[in-house]
Homo-oligomer: A and B are copies of this chain.
Amino acid sequence: MEIERKFLIKELPDLKLYPRKRIKQGYISTDPVIRIRQMNDTCCVCLKSQGHMIREEFELGITKEQCDALWNKVDNPPVEKIRYFIPLEGDLTAELDIYAGRLEGLLTVEVEFPSPMDASNFTPPDWFGADITHDNRYKNNYLSVYGMPS
């Protein structure tokens, strides 16, 4: 089970302080979500149920060769982004995504929670912008098909 909330960015923190990874992902299917992702040199395929804040999710590690072979099942261009991992209070981590390619200019941040109550009680830091947890247009499967939200 994946419990998370997603926000836009009001003000970028100083990114030099935090670890980052390069992500390239594509969707074999967007409904249900069947996603392949390469994060630095690590690849996985992921199956997700529909939903906003709470979703079932299963991720399976695969080799680079398996991942490369699965790209021919992806119809839309890949979503590419740099993800920064920023520690927050309460042992939480903000995953800040800076998109590239045709999504350049888009910035979002996600936080994963141990329980729905933790998610509801979360007070976003000042640098977080609007809560887009329930806005389909910012889901990466929608972004891969429809591009930048207008």
A positions within 8 Å CB-CB of B:
28-29, 31-32, 34, 45, 47-49, 56, 58, 60, 62, 66, 69-70, 73
Contact = CB atoms under 8 A, between A and B. Distances in A.
A47 to B, nearest CB: 5
A34 to B, nearest CB: 6
A138 to B, nearest CB: 22
A60 B34 CA distance: 11
Contact of A47 (B45, B66, B73): B45
- The residue among A34, A62, A73 with the most chain B CB atoms within 10 A of its own CB is A34
A67 to B, nearest CB: 10
Contact of A34 (B31, B45, B48, B56): B45
A79 to B, nearest CB: 19
A135 to B, nearest CB: 22
B32 A28 contact: no
